[in-house]
């Protein structure tokens, strides 16, 4: 796997924007999405990018909290992050639904999932709330999920609602190892009952990266000059590749060098790093 040198280093150094994963890349928390601690080089790298005027977004695939709360958690951990520099799949979903004029959405999730959609002026139907005319079902972090929630969502999908999700990966990185992704389990139940596969609006969709670039005030063509940094070949690396961005992998989270080496072409990183140190050196 290539190292960060030569023409590749020049491309990274000349980036117009950077998109970071959160857990396993900048910080590690626990299985309840709390107790985050910065990984080596994270504080320094964000400071270097800010001094150079390179915009960045921190994109977690988690929806346990609204973006502003995640930003506050990262600031408490010592990272200089503004509220608007944090995004979740619900940020992408709000943009995606608005662009398609989908207004009435049943959300399987609490405030962390619902917040960005509500802020966008969309009509939110609660998990088990009786409702007609639901246009889409959106699943996210929801450990409080119950059988009535399943029944309500199934009825909507059977009636023609689009099934969408924040994330469809089984695990995420924590200090204690891997933890189960709530939406993956919910999606599996909904697919078993309805036969519908949820459309992923968070990582690894190219839709998500293009949304992140727009949020930084850049045109869509800037994806080709954007660096994506993450710890999961199935998420950040695949997202970067699908949108034509530069994909840099770190082994500080879920995946090892061997995992990235075994990834297919659609999820292969441009380089694998043991941490953020080489990027700190490059931008210093």
Is residue 1 in a domain? no
> Could you tell me if residue 123 is inside a domain?
yes
Domain boundary residue, one of 200, 215, 248: 200
- What's the rounded Cα separation, in Å, for the pair 194 and 125? 20
Is 11 part of a structural domain of the chain? yes
Q: What distance in Å separates the CA atoms of residue 233 and residue 22, rounded to the nearest whole number?
A: 14
* Cα–Cα distance for residue pair 120/191, rounded to 1 Å: 28
pLDDT reported for residue 2: 58
User: What's the total number of domains in the chain?
Assistant: 2
Q: Is the preceding omega at residue 204 within 30 degrees of 0, hence cis?
A: yes
pLDDT of residue 90: 98
Q: In this predicted structure, which of 28-37, 214-223, 257-266 has the lowest mean pLDDT?
A: 28-37
Among 153, 171, 200, where does a domain finish? 200
Q: Are residues 190 and 152 in the same domain?
A: yes
Please count the other Cβ atoms lying within 10 Å of the Cβ belonging to residue 2: 11
* Among candidate residues 243, 157, 169, the one with its CA nearest the CA of residue 200: 169
Q: When comparing pLDDT for 254 and 191, which is higher?
A: 191
pLDDT for 4 beyond 90 = no
Same domain, 184 and 159: yes
Q: What's the pLDDT score for residue 30? A: 65
> What is the band of 64 on the pLDDT scale with cuts at 50, 70, 90?
very high
**Do residues 123 and 192 both lie within one domain?**
yes
Domain span at residue 143?
90-200
- State the Cα–Cα distance between residues 43 and 79, nearest whole angstrom: 5
Cβ-contact 260, 1 below 8 angstroms: yes
Q: What is the 3-state secondary structure (H, E, C) of the chain?
A: CCCCCHHHHHHHHCCCEEEECCECCCEECCCCCCCCEECCCHHHHHHHHHHHCCCEEEECCCCCCCHHHHHHHHHHCCCCCCHHHEECHHHHHHHHHHHCCCCEEEEECCHHHHHHHHHCCCEEECCCCCCCCCCEEEECCCCCCCHHHHHHHHHHHHCCCEEEECCCCCEEEECCEEEECHHHHHHHHHHHHHCCCCEECCCCCHHHHHHHHHHCCCCHHHHHHEEEEECCHHHHHHHHHHHCCEEEEECCCCCCHHHHHHCCHHHCCCEEECCCHHHHHHHC
Q: Residue 73 pLDDT more than 90?
A: yes
Query: Is 1 a residue whose pLDDT tops 60?
Result: no
The reply to whether 184 and 107 lie within a common domain is yes
Say yes or no to pLDDT of 165 above 80: yes
Per-residue confidence (pLDDT) for residue 35, from 0 to 100: 78
Q: Are 94 and 83 part of one and the same domain?
A: no
Determine what percent of the chain is predicted with pLDDT higher than 70.
97
Phi then psi for 71, rounded to 5 degrees? -60, -40
Question: The whole model's pTM is what?
Answer: 0.93
- Give yes or no for a contact between 20 and 229, defined as CB atoms under 8 angstroms apart: yes
Same domain flag for 250 and 272: yes
Q: How confident is the model over 120-158, as pLDDT tens digits?
A: 999 999 999 999 999 999 999 999 999 999 999 999 999
CATH number of the domain residue 220 falls in: 3.40.50.1000
Task: Establish if 190 belongs to a structural domain.
Answer: yes
125, 192: one domain: yes
CA–CA separation, 39 and 25 (whole Å): 7
- List the structure tokens of 126: 């609660």
170 and 46 in a common domain: no
| 208 and 79, same domain (yes or no) | yes
Residue finishing a domain among 178, 200, 222:
200
């Amino acid at each position: 796997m290539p190292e960060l040198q030569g023409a590749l280093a020049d491309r990274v150094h000349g980036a117009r924007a950077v998109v970071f994963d959160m857990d396993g890349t900048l910080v590690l928390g626990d299985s309840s999405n709390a107790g985050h601690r910065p990984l080596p080089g994270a504080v320094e790298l964000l400071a270097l990018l800010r001094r150079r005027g390179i915009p960045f977004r921190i994109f977690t695939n988690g929806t346990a909290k609204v973006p502003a709360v995640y930003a506050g958690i990262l600031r408490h951990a010592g990272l200089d992050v503004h509220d608007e520099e944090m995004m979740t799949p619900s940020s992408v979903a709000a943009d995606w639904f608005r662009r398609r004029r989908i207004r009435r959405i049943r959300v399987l999730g609490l405030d962390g999932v619902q917040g960005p959609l509500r802020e966008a002026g969309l009509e939110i139907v609660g998990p088990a709330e009786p409702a007609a005319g639901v246009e889409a079902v959106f699943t996210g972090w929801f450990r409080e999920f119950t059988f009535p929630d399943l029944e309500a969502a199934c009825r909507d999908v059977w009636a023609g609602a689009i099934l969408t999700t924040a994330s469809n990966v089984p695990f995420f990185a924590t200090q204690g190892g891997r933890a189960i992704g709530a939406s993956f389990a919910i999606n599996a139940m909904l697919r078993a009952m309805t036969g519908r596969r949820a459309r992923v609006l968070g990582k690894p969709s190219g839709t998500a990266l293009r949304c992140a670039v727009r949020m930084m005030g850049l045109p869509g063509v800037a994806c080709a000059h954007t660096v994506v940094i993450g710890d999961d070949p199935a998420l950040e690396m695949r997202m970067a590749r699908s949108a034509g961005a530069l994909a840099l992998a770190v082994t500080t989270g879920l995946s090892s060098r061997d995992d990235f080496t075994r990834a297919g072409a659609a999820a292969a990183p441009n380089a694998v790093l043991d941490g953020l140190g080489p990027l700190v050196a490059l931008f210093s």
